[in-house]
Structure 1
């Protein structure tokens, strides 16, 4: 039986607040500048003169530089902002390498990588005293030991080019096991399991066949079949996107947010949460332990939870907000999904087991590519 999130992520917070609270693009949520009970206002923190933020590249980096940084500087004009782009695994590895002398202040990484960094002791503990809006976040999206703050999230699933599916008379996917169907050969692109996309797919293949993140044998067996359908595993999300845009692939596994962004790029991809369920992918902001600009870091994380930034994440990148904000009705509908299918991974297990899974992938799966 699938292990499902049953409490506040009862994504009721999610969709309940999205759909019940949506309005026109001009609607604003109630002002939330007052600090949480027992908290302090941001006026109590004096920011340093600079802040170095690390996070994903591409559209995420563009939004950060073009919109979020500019708005933060309107409020704190004396803070020089620098952005370091990379995939989550690279950012955590960089933070680990710099542990003795941190060169970054804030990271925004996916949940599994954030947990791996927590185990390594890379993140400072955060509190509502300095980041009052932490109190608005569902318990199911909170990190262990308050080692970070979720700033948005999106579900994983299967994405496909509807036009090519019809043209080639291919199946519409409804199950993770559909990835093993013979029709997938030559039509599928997946990422390596060092990426969250590939790793989540592997775990969900285990769940779909009686396993879990604590019993991955079934997932690896299914992935052996899938490997034979592809010339290679993609090294990055950019490569997945390229394979879809040049139509060398019809299907992939990634997040709903990634799928929806493709429409803005002119590629109409359909997204499904398979019948066995899917995990959520939160993006988590952390403050590096020993950060040289701690006040600016705390103020920036609080800023990411503001109504304006939460709305930007939703309308520009199609990430679900983690706080209750009003969204345009069209956006709220696009971001809706069947929350009864959410599978909540044990991120501590995922974080600790990923190196072992990668070794096993390299030994058992990689040699079967294209065979």
Structure 2
């Protein structure tokens, strides 16, 4: 009798445990940036998705290089379900087979064409424009018009008042490609870009500075008047009260997109796609604009006028151009070594 009772109790306990296990929420692993992005995700974006989908979300912070390295290390046994990467590394992730098709997600119809990555396996969720950040007060004091062309980087009036990040930084890489394009070359023929930098642009450059913090210091101290920088970086600096402005070159500012993709081999593929759809919703697009300075890739997202003026938004999207990341990723190490030998020596 005791054995029978014990067995009944054990079976009941097993049944309870099984019931609890079946009732557990699924888990979605999201790999994305740390810092302010992580705060926005955990404070606003993730809670609203979690409540609507009854899912647990594990956030794995890291920059694009770190997250791409995780995908490579976990090939065949992926932990991550959704990743956010800069567009350059995202092209690598797609080419390496780490991204699954997003599929027929209705909100994609509202996304600008420029934000659709080839193959339908990744999509831009935010725009940053690479163009000209400048000190409006210094320009006015000197009687200078705002910079208008990528060719203006070679203007001698900016000698020792200009900063361009190095080519291993995305802003510097964009500047090199645009210098090549306006001089008859491009990604497939980068030589004119290197020649322009070595002969005409580098003599104006005070320093090839990659650090956003140091760039801000150089602007605030009045040491520089102009830099090649991102619209989001300039917005963050201007929000402190600095008299900064952002100019879109007439040949086009380069789109630096934050991309999202559902990871191949995910255990929760439908939730992965749903989370990307959530990121593209007009409401979350506005959150990303306010918190991150990312211009919406969803054309139906509406921003208040003051915010709209400072971001790639509306008509400014027509002033964005893209670069060929497949070519760039193939040659980037070679270009970096060449830059170090010929431009920044």
The answer to whether TM tops 0.5 is yes
Structure possessing the higher radius of gyration over alpha carbons: 2
- Secondary structure at the counterpart of residue 286 of structure 1: strand
Out of 251, 255, 261, which is 1:286 matched to? 261
Out of 206, 210, 218, which is 2:184 matched to? 210
Structure 2 equivalent of residue 16 of structure 1: none
Out of 29, 37, 49, which is 1:60 matched to? 37
Structure 1 equivalent of residue 91 of structure 2: 115
RMSD of aligned Cα (Å): 2.8
- Secondary structure at the counterpart of residue 276 of structure 1: coil
Distance 1:215 1:305 in 2: 36
- Secondary structure at the counterpart of residue 157 of structure 1: strand
Out of 295, 298, 302, which is 1:326 matched to? 302
Alignment TM-score, normalising by the size of structure 1: 0.75
Structure 2 equivalent of residue 70 of structure 1: 47
Structure 1 equivalent of residue 58 of structure 2: 81
Structure 1 equivalent of residue 274 of structure 2: 299
Number of paired residues? 319
- How far apart are 1:253 and its partner, in Å? 1.4
Distance 2:85 2:234 in 1: 19
Out of 336, 342, 345, which is 1:358 matched to? 336
Structure 2 equivalent of residue 145 of structure 1: 119
**8 Å contact 2:161–2:206 — kept in the other structure?**
no
- Secondary structure at the counterpart of residue 200 of structure 1: helix
- How far apart are 1:230 and its partner, in Å? 4.3
Structure 1 equivalent of residue 233 of structure 2: 258
With over 3 angstroms needed to count, the CA separation of the structure-2 counterparts of 1:293 and 1:214, relative to structure 1, is: same
**8 Å contact 2:28–2:55 — kept in the other structure?**
no
Structure 2 equivalent of residue 177 of structure 1: 151
Query: Which has a greater percent of helix?
Result: 2
Distance 1:268 1:291 in 2: 46
Higher relative contact order (Cα pairs below 8 Å, separated by 6+ residues): 1
- Per-residue deviation, residues 90-144 of structure 1 (Å, max 9, x unmatched): 432443233344343322122222112222222222211xx33223323332111
- How far apart are 1:174 and its partner, in Å? 1.8
Structure 2 equivalent of residue 97 of structure 1: 73
Identify the range of structure 1 (197-206 vs 217-226) with the bigger mean alpha-carbon deviation.
217-226
Distance 1:51 1:103 in 2: 9
**8 Å contact 2:248–2:319 — kept in the other structure?**
yes
Structure 2: gaps of 5 or more residues:
1-22
- How far apart are 1:208 and its partner, in Å? 2.0
Distance 1:245 1:49 in 2: 48
**8 Å contact 1:89–1:195 — kept in the other structure?**
no
Structure 1 equivalent of residue 246 of structure 2: 271
- How far apart are 1:311 and its partner, in Å? 1.5
Structure 2 residue 320 is the aligned partner of structure 1 residue 345: no
Structure 2 equivalent of residue 30 of structure 1: none
With over 3 angstroms needed to count, the CA separation of the structure-2 counterparts of 1:234 and 1:280, relative to structure 1, is: same
- Per-residue deviation, residues 71-102 of structure 1 (Å, max 9, x unmatched): 2233245413314131x344324432333443
Structure 1 equivalent of residue 8 of structure 2: none
